[in-house]
Amino acid sequence: MSVTLVEELLPAKSPARNIRRTVLPNGLLVLTESMEHVRSVSMGVWINSGSRDEAPPVNGISHFVEHMVFKGTATRSAQQLAREVDQIGGNLDAFTGKEQVCFNIKVLDENLVPALDLLSDLVLHPTFTAEDIAREQGVILEEIKMDEDNPDYLVHETFTQHFWKGDALGRPILGTAKTVSSFDHEVVRREYGSRFTPRNMVFSAAGRIEHDAFVAQVEEHFSDLAASEGEGPAKPVAPVSNPHITLKNKRSLEQVQVCMGVPAPSVQDVRRYAVYLLNTMLGGGMSSRLFQTIREDEGMAYSIYSEMNPFRDAGSLSVYAGTSVDKVEKLLRLTLLELTRLKQEMVSVAELKRAKDQLKSNIVLGLESSSSRMANLARQQMYYGRFFGVDEITSEIEAVTPEQIQDIARELFQSEKIALTMLGNLGGLKIGRGDLIC
């Protein structure tokens, strides 16, 4: 039987990457990259929906289902799954994000067949027993409590919930104690059935692998997954950011955790490379402006950085730092001063070149393992519907000018758009909109 409806070489300029794609008759897309110089194979089943695609009453269901598939299948118990993974020396893992869920395994190439059988069984034949659901509710409720005890996580989560207030993007990936406690077999099975469909999934693999043979093996496992089951949840409309100021007292903390951010372009925006470079110069490394000013020159914080959080239709650029309460106001002033400088003063050619070299190196080094290339294939497909080669990406980075950096800084760093969350033993500290001028 022919397994191929659509098959083509993906348009990468770099001849070093051997990437191919095949669409199975039921609509499942299989992507592979052959890496002859390695002995490993990494493969992942990607679900093209995450926590932001959930309805409010089932917030956290994507993460819950991710946990539940590890509790046993129609032919294997959870213990058997664990033993068989260890027997082949595999690394089996999963994660849930705002927009995707991924189940993945990495093994030696000689163990590709049993690894594929394990991964497929895990994804396609979970049992979802009532007993396992009840036990896992307890586990995830403890996970929620654990994260609430982590100040770094909590300040980011609080910032996100207020920044995307009223939108699914702002709801926690784990869900809440109320929503998680409400999950039952019917809810779990319904949500699993609506998301785990061929047209809402991508199967990606990278390493010492032969495409045609691998595709045939994938089809052997996934051919019974019916194409008529749907295409996954409807994608929500783009959210509107909320320029909030949230001060949350937590007297048990020694430091004040600070998270400040602004809306930023989406993952698909044509200006994304300019934004990545702006972020790199602002707080993306040890030579960044914030690290040098706040930590090296002033000694005000051990940890300070900026980060991009791009999604399919929105994004944010935020700054995080932890410092003592008596240094918070100065830290904010110096941070806002750096934002102002990026708006008013064009970055030098030398500073921009350093940022470009750093960003290009991070991209290339990030593709040295089979697992990172497997993830790269799936994400590029889901966000862009095509593959951008390293040569193309580096050319785009090189094309960014100081003028473009200044233009994007002026667009992003507007006082009325700034959102701020602070968590810690704040005492009488008060921060108002007038303190966030840049």
Q: Which two tokens stand for residue 315?
A: 């994004």
Instruction: Give residue limits of the domains in the chain.
Output: 6-229, 245-435
What span, in angstroms and rounded, lies between the C-alpha atoms of 172 and 61?
11
Element (H, E) at 317: strand 315-323
Q: What is the dihedral of CA 154, 155, 156, 160, to 10 degrees?
A: 100
Q: So what CATH class is 245-435?
A: alpha beta
Q: What is the pLDDT of residues 371-392, one digit of tens each?
A: 999 999 999 999 999 998 889 9
pLDDT for position 140: 98
Q: Give the pLDDT of the chain (438 residues) as one tens digit per residue.
A: 333 433 333 444 444 578 999 999 999 999 999 999 999 999 999 999 999 999 999 999 999 999 999 999 999 999 999 999 999 999 999 999 999 999 999 999 999 999 999 999 999 999 999 999 999 999 999 999 999 999 999 999 999 999 999 999 999 999 999 999 999 999 999 999 999 999 999 999 999 999 999 999 999 999 999 875 555 567 777 889 999 999 999 989 999 999 999 999 999 999 999 999 999 999 999 999 999 999 999 999 999 999 999 999 999 999 999 999 999 999 999 999 999 999 999 999 999 999 999 999 998 888 889 999 999 999 999 999 999 888 999 999 999 999 999 999 999 999 999 999 999 999 889 999 999 999
Q: What is the dihedral of CA 142, 160, 279, 334, to 10 degrees?
A: -100
Tell me if 6-229 shares its fold with 245-435.
yes
Nearest CA-CA partner of 126 in 192, 72, 183: 72
Q: Is 66 annotated as catalytic?
A: yes
- Integer CA distances (angstroms), 414 to 336, 400, 422, 436, in order: 10, 22, 20, 9
Alpha helices in 345-434, H assignment, sequence order: 349-365, 370-384, 390-399, 402-412
DSSP code per residue over 96-120: E-SS-EEEEEEEEGGGHHHHHHHHH
Residue 44 three-state SS: strand
pLDDT for position 16: 59
What span, in angstroms and rounded, lies between the C-alpha atoms of 183 and 335?
43
Could you say which of 66, 99, 136, 338 is catalytic? 66
Task: Note the pTM of the prediction, 2 decimals.
Answer: 0.92
User: Are the C-beta atoms of residues 384 and 206 closer than 8 Å to each other?
Assistant: no
CATH architecture of 6-229: 2-Layer Sandwich (3.30)
Q: What is the pLDDT of residues 244-278, one digit of tens each?
A: 999 999 989 999 999 999 999 999 999 999 999 99
- The strand order across the sheet containing 304-310 reads 245-249, 419-424, 256-263, 315-323, 304-310
